[in-house]
Amino acid sequence: MANIQDKKVLTVQDISCFGQCSLTVALPIISACGIETAILPSAVLSTHTGGFTGWTFRDLTDDIPAIVDHWEKQKISFDAIYTGYLGSKRQIELVKDMFSRLSAPECLKVVDPAMADNGTLYYGFDEAFAHEMGTLCGKADIALPNITEAAMMTDMPYIGEGYDEAYIRKLMEKVLALGAKTVVLTGVSYNKNELGAAVLSRGDAEISYYFHERLDKGCHGTGDIFASAFVGALVKGKTPLEAARIAADFTLAGMKATRGDDTHWYGTKFEKALPLLVGELNK
């Protein structure tokens, strides 16, 4: 017998067929959380673009309206919609349309504005795109930017190192001012040994933090892994801070499983850490 409490999540982002990022991590991770997961690919790439050359790319923007029309006619709706990498302003507008047409009552809207890191926008994006992404975060229940993305969406200066809590609070307040109800800021660190996430909702007096150890080497795809696990935990009833903790610990475990394998430079062995994720959600 079906559980009437079962939730359905839609995730909208690209498919990088090889490389452990975007939809190739979102679908297995959210599914492992015990949640029915639908996908709407924004583009198809042979690999991700971080270190590979000669990759193929097919833009699927023109396919999106017909898919949404079909789902609406079939009365398909979702309890959560989670967006990752979007390739154009038009795709951002199409996602806003999905929010209004495909949302079940109390649908949770989570926007990961995957467009920049380490002070630099990804290839093909500009300041105008960053501002447009800010308008999408304004429609979200939860926005999941890193520090670079938050700064670029709000015209705050980007400070790579040496920022203080006052800077982080102002940055998060500016993201909330865009319209988001809660902001979960990733990549926050006040010392060289720790890295973590900061959580602030409208009306909160203080920022909530979760920190874990900082590894000396990063991995590709960790932002997508964190966001996917965060959405899974959130839909399973965890608070934003609890979901951030679970997602951060899961991401860290995948990174640790990848250490020492120089042939696996292109991604993160998140699969090795899925039992940890499932165990945390079942506590």
59: domain CATH number? 3.40.1190.20
- Please name the residue that has the structure tokens 């990022």: 21
The pLDDT, as a whole number, for residue 224 is 97
The pLDDT, as a whole number, for residue 2 is 47
pTM for this structure?
Answer: 0.96
CA–CA dist 151, 148 (Å, integer): 5
Q: Name the more confident of 182 and 282.
A: 182
The pLDDT, as a whole number, for residue 174 is 98
The gap from C-alpha 268 to its chain's centroid, in whole angstroms, comes to: 16
Average pLDDT over residues 238-259: 97
Q: Is residue 97 part of a domain?
A: yes
The pLDDT, as a whole number, for residue 8 is 97
Q: Residue 48 corresponds to which tokens in the numbers above?
A: 């991700």
Average pLDDT over residues 167-173: 98
pLDDT(187) > 80: yes
Strand pairing class (142-143; 103-111)? parallel
Q: Is residue 2 part of a domain?
A: no
Average pLDDT over residues 196-205: 96
Average pLDDT over residues 192-210: 96
- Please name the residue that has the structure tokens 């394998």: 261
Residue 3 confidence class, pLDDT cut points 50, 70, 90? low
CA–CA dist 21, 23 (Å, integer): 6
The pLDDT, as a whole number, for residue 216 is 86
Q: Residue 140 corresponds to which tokens in the numbers above?
A: 């979200």
CA–CA dist 134, 120 (Å, integer): 16
Q: Is residue 54 part of a domain?
A: yes
Q: Is residue 98 part of a domain?
A: yes
Q: Is residue 69 part of a domain?
A: yes
Average pLDDT over residues 151-180: 96
Q: Residue 120 corresponds to which tokens in the numbers above?
A: 């630099």
The domain total for the chain is 1
CB 124 within 8 A of CB 32: no
Residue 1 confidence class, pLDDT cut points 50, 70, 90? very low
Beta bridge partners of 213: 194
Residue 218 confidence class, pLDDT cut points 50, 70, 90? confident
> Which domain covers residue 201, as residue numbers?
8-276
Q: Is residue 3 part of a domain?
A: no
CA–CA dist 276, 271 (Å, integer): 10
Average pLDDT over residues 60-89: 97
Q: Is residue 99 part of a domain?
A: yes
Q: Is residue 281 part of a domain?
A: no
What residues contact residue 163 under an 8 Å CB cut-off, 6+ apart? 147
The gap from C-alpha 3 to its chain's centroid, in whole angstroms, comes to: 27
